């Protein structure tokens, strides 16, 4: 692959770099750079300096990408400006087909037009509870909704859902009851929606639920009804890509359409035109995800080359697809689906593939896995060890099921009887696919979780792979050896940098992170000797976001923690214990503590001491008051983790003479008015307090009286709903507190006579 043969590749890279740099440069500067680059490029081209003109053209394209990626200010009538949270009667149109993600929960994307009678703009992502009326894309609806700003959790090394929604143009989220939805018009579904519904219905009527859900995932990317164990097996086996409608599906569809046209002896151009129409229609049915758009653009370009009887460059097609998508939706550059789709395709295209069916298939799978490795580690902390092998069986089976499923759906629309026979033929293939995936998922170590690599490691990795690819074109043996040596060095450096969090020696400091998990508790305690304990794991359970899997686990992996010295669950409430099951599944754990099984004596971790406070004197009583309370100390610094105890338990601890005095207090019960009494505060005497609380929660936490009592005692208050994760670090003599959302740091000197 050379730049002469793939002139669009550098343009696509430059455009993407511009989007990445957009937040760092003012729009006025970008306009100046763009105009200057165009002028200089034109002058150089006039003087015959083609190379210099090409460089300035790339600068101009990068500036254009940055301008396209610049966030535009919200209009004055945008919903996000009307003072949220609030309850409002909203009128608007559904932007896409509703998504049912649980039996009684449906997600709607609404382009708002009016709120409480006033004209507004902006897109709302609404979750409605109950069974809504029949709704379809483009339909006008009116509903009573509780509106909130679109925010996510703010923690080091974890997914920012609020930023993800913002890139999709969603700044407001909402909840409401399905029975409050009214439909002023009775709009008929678009043809694409009717086709999709008919296909799902035909599949559901002809196959058992598990197989029907799997085929719907293969054909349409609809994984709503896919059993959780099947979904998890595809992830563990490293073959989830077959369930995410992408180039795999589009390539099979385009190839099948082209082969059918050739079988019917249609002229070459007519066959290409027919395949183009089928591929575009498929995209309209399944929806415009980044991977589908990439595959469709590439397929259309390749088929158009056949139509025009010209040779198609796959790399140029890939670059053009990237530019086309990013020009319309620049935020897709940061979407995992976009990155995975383009990385996998590029890896397969540029890798030297050997001949032979088995060896070639292995090489294709390995090339794709190597290309997407930085993406899967960066977004999911996952390294698949079985995926390369599993794909050898899964891809042919999934391909066969996809082709046979498409045929069965098509026949079922003509005749239910013939369709039923066709679905009976695809069922054994689906069972075989599930069996192979389940077998691969049960292989020990099928997925290894590792820290996400940083930009330096990713750059070294890409540079090393690129040098290995071009070393074969070096002019001499010496040059090839130099390329190979540098490539190996870069790859080794990438591995070393990425693995550093796993092997770095302990720094002798105590680090306590109160994670932002919404309305719940999750506290990570990193000891001076390098060991880590987790106190609570946030929410989890049926129909809840699993904070243990989505927040706690990624945070720990990115800190280089694969093994926990202990997991303490203070009590059984879902907002504290719900995420513990995921943590126990994903980590090695040395000890498990509860209020009933906590150590009876203080435990030492290097220079740090963890002391479980005495349990209640009398059994029974309030469940919260029976929770496990821990005190962690290092030198002059200490933190009291007060779980969800209430006033009665606080009083009991005070009169018991337990050692409560602490530098930091993790405020009990998210700042409930039934906790954090003045008596208790006087006994603890903290200089800082952390409140783990969900934004705009329904309980009114933290209570204004609690905040007032903390202020009266001169306590600095840190809140996860406002500050994101709150990180306390100490060497025993000084204490630093970091508000992660604002990246601000407060410093406290604990030595009465010391200079800090």
Question: Which residue shows structure tokens 């009717």?
Answer: 194
Clarify whether residues 674 and 604 are in a common domain.
yes
More confident residue, 247 or 458: 458
Question: Is 367 contained in some domain?
Answer: no
Residue-wise pLDDT tens digits, 694-750: 988 889 999 999 999 999 999 999 999 999 999 999 999 999 999 999 999 999 999
CA dist., res. 160 & res. 141, Å (int)? 30
Mean pLDDT score of the chain: 90
- Does 582 reside within a domain? yes
DSSP string for 616-653: PSSSSS-TGGGS--EEEEETTEEEEE-TT--HHHHHHH
Quote the CA–CA distance of 249 and 82 in Å, as a whole number: 43
CA pair distance 627, 649, nearest whole angstrom:
9
634 and 565 in one domain? yes
**What is the torsional sign of CA 109, 723, 640, 504?**
positive
Is 622 found in the same domain as 682? Answer: yes
Confidence of residue 212 (pLDDT cuts 50, 70, 90): very high
Compute how many other C-beta atoms are within 10 angstroms of the C-beta atom of residue 640: 27
Q: Is residue 233 part of a domain?
A: no
For 52, the 3-state DSSP assignment is helix
Continuous segment of H or E residues that includes residue 184: none
The mean pLDDT of 501-521, rounded to a whole number, is 95
Distance CA 559, CA 524 (A): 11
Helix (H/G/I), strand (E/B), else coil: 40: helix
For 222-277, what is each residue's pLDDT tens digit? 887 888 889 899 999 988 888 877 777 788 888 888 888 888 888 888 888 888 88
DSSP, res 703: P
pLDDT bin (cut points 50, 70, 90) of residue 310 is low
Q: Look at residues 332, 339, 350, 326 and name the one whose alpha carbon lies nearest to residue 373.
A: 339
Ordered DSSP codes for 586-617: HSEES-EE-TTTS-SS-EEETTEEEEEPPPPS
Question: Are the C-beta atoms of 359 and 365 separated by less than 8 Å?
Answer: no
Residue 665 scores a pLDDT above 80: yes
620 within a domain of the structure (yes/no): yes
Q: Residue 41 and residue 50: Cα distance in Å, rounded?
A: 9
Overall number of domains in the chain: 4
Q: Is 514 helix (H, G, I), strand (E, B) or coil?
A: strand
User: Domain check: are 43 and 90 in the same one?
Assistant: no
**What mean pLDDT comes out for the span 189-211?**
90
User: What six digits make up the tokens of 63?
Assistant: 């500036």
128 and 162 assigned to the same domain:
yes
Which of the pair, 4 or 527, is modelled with greater confidence? 527
- Check residue 513 and give its pLDDT: 98
Say whether pLDDT at 543 is over 80.
no
Half-sphere exposure of 58 (CA within 13 A, CB side): 15
Does residue 498 sit within a domain?
yes
**Which two structure tokens, joined as six digits, stand for 650?**
């606080």
How confident is the model at residue 314, as a pLDDT? Answer: 78
C-alpha distance from residue 565 to each of 36, 467, 526, 588, 725 (Å): 59, 42, 10, 8, 22
Residue 567 phi, psi (nearest 5) = -125, 120
Which positions ≥6 away from 261 have C-beta within 8 Å?
A: 270, 271, 274, 275
CB 716 within 8 A of CB 686: no
Beta-carbon contacts of residue 356 (< 8 Å; ≥ 6 apart):
none
Domain match, 157 and 54 both: no
* pLDDT confidence of residue 311: 64
599 & 726 share domain: yes
Question: In this structure, what token pair is assigned to residue 150?
Answer: 């679109």
Residue 561 falls inside a structural domain: yes
The domain boundary, picked from 48, 69, 90, lies at 69
Residue with tokens 């002469």: 4
The Cα–Cα gap between 634 and 663 comes to: 11
How many residues does the structure list for the chain? Answer: 756
Q: What is the CATH number of the domain that holds 132?
A: 2.40.50.140
Domain boundary residue among 155, 189, 223?
189
Neighbours of 141 (CB within 10 A): 22
Q: For residues 119 and 137, give the distance between their C-alpha atoms in angstroms, rounded to a whole number.
A: 21
- Same domain flag for 587 and 650: yes
65 and 172 inside one domain: no
Q: Which residues contact 325 (CB under 8 A, 6 or more apart)?
A: 290, 293, 294, 297, 332, 338
Helical axes 357-380 vs 455-470, angle rounded to 10°:
160
Cis peptide before 85 (omega within 30 of 0): yes
C-alpha 527/C-alpha 632 separation (Å) is: 10
Q: Which residue has 């535009």 as its token pair?
A: 72
Residue spans of alpha helices (H) in 381-451: 387-414, 416-441
pLDDT over 60 (residue 653): yes
Count CA atoms closer than 13 A to 505's CA, side-chain side. 2
Tell me the C-alpha distance between 155 and 723, whole Å: 10
- From 149, 170, 189, the end of a domain falls on 189
Across 24-33, average pLDDT:
93
Same domain flag for 727 and 651: yes
Q: Is residue 653 part of a domain?
A: yes
pLDDT value for 288:
76
| Pair (519, 635) in one structural domain | yes
Residue 44 gets the label, from left (phi > 0), alpha (psi -120 to 50) or beta, of alpha
The domain of 62 spans 8-69
Query: Hey, is 92 helix, strand or coil?
Result: strand
Secondary structure (DSSP) of 118-156: EE-B-EEEEEEES-PPP--TT-EEEEEEEEEE------T
Q: What pLDDT was estimated at residue 5?
A: 61
Q: With beta carbons less than 8 A apart as the criterion, state whether 681 and 706 touch.
A: no
Question: Could you give the CA distance from residue 630 to residue 643 in angstroms, rounded to a whole number?
Answer: 8
List the CATH number of the domain containing 541: 3.60.15.10
Q: What is the 3-state secondary structure (H, E, C) of 448-511?
A: EECCCCCHHHHHHHHHHHHHHHHHHHCCCHHHHHHHHHHHHHHHHHHHHHHHHHHHCCCCCCEE
In a domain, 32, yes or no: yes
pLDDT in tens, 407-451: 999 899 888 889 889 999 999 999 999 999 999 999 999 999 999
Tokens 């439909």 found at: 183
Query: What is the Cα 663 distance to its own chain's centre?
Result: 36
User: In 3D, which of 512, 422, 438 has the Cα closest to residue 737?
Assistant: 512
Peptide bond into 471 cis (omega under 30): no
pLDDT, greater one: 263 or 119: 119
**pLDDT bracket for residue 3 (50, 70, 90):** low
What is the token pair recorded at 87?
Answer: 């309850």
718 and 572 fall within a common domain: yes
């Amino acid at each position: 692959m050379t730049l002469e043969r793939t002139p669009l590749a550098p343009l696509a890279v430059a455009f993407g770099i511009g989007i990445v740099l957009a937040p760092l440069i003012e729009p006025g500067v970008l306009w100046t750079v763009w105009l200057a680059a165009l002028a200089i490029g034109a002058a150089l081209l006039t003087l015959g300096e083609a190379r210099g003109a090409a460089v300035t053209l790339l600068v101009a394209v990068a500036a254009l990408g940055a301008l396209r990626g610049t966030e535009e200010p919200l209009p004055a009538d945008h919903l996000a400006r009307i003072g949220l949270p609030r309850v409002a009667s909203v009128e608007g149109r559904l932007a896409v087909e509703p998504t049912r993600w649980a039996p009684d929960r449906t997600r709607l994307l609404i382009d708002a037009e009016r709120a409480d009678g006033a004209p507004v703009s902006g897109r709302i992502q609404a979750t409605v509870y109950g069974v809504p009326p029949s709704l379809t894309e483009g339909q006008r609806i009116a509903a009573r909704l509780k509106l909130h700003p679109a925010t996510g959790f703010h923690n080091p090394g974890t997914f920012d859902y609020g930023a993800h929604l913002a890139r999709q143009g969603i700044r407001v989220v909402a909840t409401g009851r399905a029975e409050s939805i009214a439909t002023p018009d009775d709009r008929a579904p678009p043809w694409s929606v009717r086709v999709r519904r008919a296909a799902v219905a035909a599949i559901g009527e002809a196959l058992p639920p598990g197989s029907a859900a799997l085929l719907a995932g293969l054909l349409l990317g609809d994984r709503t009804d896919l059993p959780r164990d099947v979904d998890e097996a595809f992830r563990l086996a490293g073959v989830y890509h077959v369930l995410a409608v992408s180039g795999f599906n589009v390539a099979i569809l385009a190839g099948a359409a082209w082969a059918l046209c050739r079988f019917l002896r249609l002229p070459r151009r007519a066959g290409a035109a027919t395949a183009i129409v089928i591929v575009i229609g498929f995209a309209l049915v399944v929806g415009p995800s980044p991977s589908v758009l990439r595959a469709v653009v590439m397929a259309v370009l390749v088929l158009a080359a056949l139509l025009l009887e010209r040779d198609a460059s796959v790399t140029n097609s890939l670059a053009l697809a990237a530019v086309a998508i990013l020009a319309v939706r620049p935020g897709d550059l940061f979407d995992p689906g976009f990155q995975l789709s383009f990385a996998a395709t590029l890896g397969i295209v540029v890798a030297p593939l050997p001949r032979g069916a088995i060896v070639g298939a292995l090489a294709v799978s390995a090339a794709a896995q190597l290309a997407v490795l930085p993406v899967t580690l960066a977004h999911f902390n996952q390294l698949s060890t079985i995926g390369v092998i599993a794909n050898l069986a899964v891809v042919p089976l999934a391909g066969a099921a996809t082709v046979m499923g498409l045929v069965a759906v098509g026949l079922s629309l003509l005749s239910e009887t013939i369709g039923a026979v066709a679905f009976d033929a695809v069922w054994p293939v689906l069972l075989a696919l599930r069996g192979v995936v389940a077998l691969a998922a049960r292989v020990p170590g099928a997925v290894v979780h590792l820290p996400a690599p940083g930009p330096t490691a990713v750059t070294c990795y890409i540079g090393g792979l690129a040098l290995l690819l071009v070393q074969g074109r070096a002019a001499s043996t010496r040059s090839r050896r130099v390329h190979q040596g540098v490539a190996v060095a870069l790859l080794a450096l990438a591995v070393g940098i990425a693995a550093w969090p796993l092997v770095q020696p302990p720094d002798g400091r105590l680090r306590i992170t109160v994670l932002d998990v919404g309305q719940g508790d999750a506290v990570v305690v990193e000891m001076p000797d390098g060991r880590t304990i987790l106190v609570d794991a946030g929410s989890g359970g049926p129909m809840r976001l699993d904070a243990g899997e989505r927040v706690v686990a990624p945070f720990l992996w990115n800190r280089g923690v694969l093994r926990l010295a202990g997991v303490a669950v203070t009590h059984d409430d879902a907002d504290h214990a719900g995420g513990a099951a995921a943590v126990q599944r994903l980590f090695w754990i040395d000890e498990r503590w509860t209020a009933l099984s906590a150590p009876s004596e203080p435990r030492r971790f290097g220079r740090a001491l963890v002391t479980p406070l005495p349990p209640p004197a009398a059994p029974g009583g309030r469940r919260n008051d029976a929770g496990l309370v821990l005190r962690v100390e290092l030198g002059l610094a200490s933190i009291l983790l007060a779980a969800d105890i209430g006033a009665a338990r606080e009083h009991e601890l005070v009169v018991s003479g337990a050692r409560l005095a602490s530098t930091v207090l993790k405020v009990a019960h998210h700042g409930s008015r039934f906790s954090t009494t003045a008596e208790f505060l006087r006994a603890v005497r903290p200089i800082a307090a952390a409140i783990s609380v969900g934004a705009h929660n329904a309980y009114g936490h933290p209570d204004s009286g609690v905040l007032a009592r903390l202020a009266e005692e001169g306590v600095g208050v840190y809140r996860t709903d406002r500050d994101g994760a709150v990180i306390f670090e100490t060497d025993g003599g000084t204490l630093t507190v970091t508000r992660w959302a604002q990246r601000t740091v407060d410093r406290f000197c604990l030595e009465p006579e010391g200079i800090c």
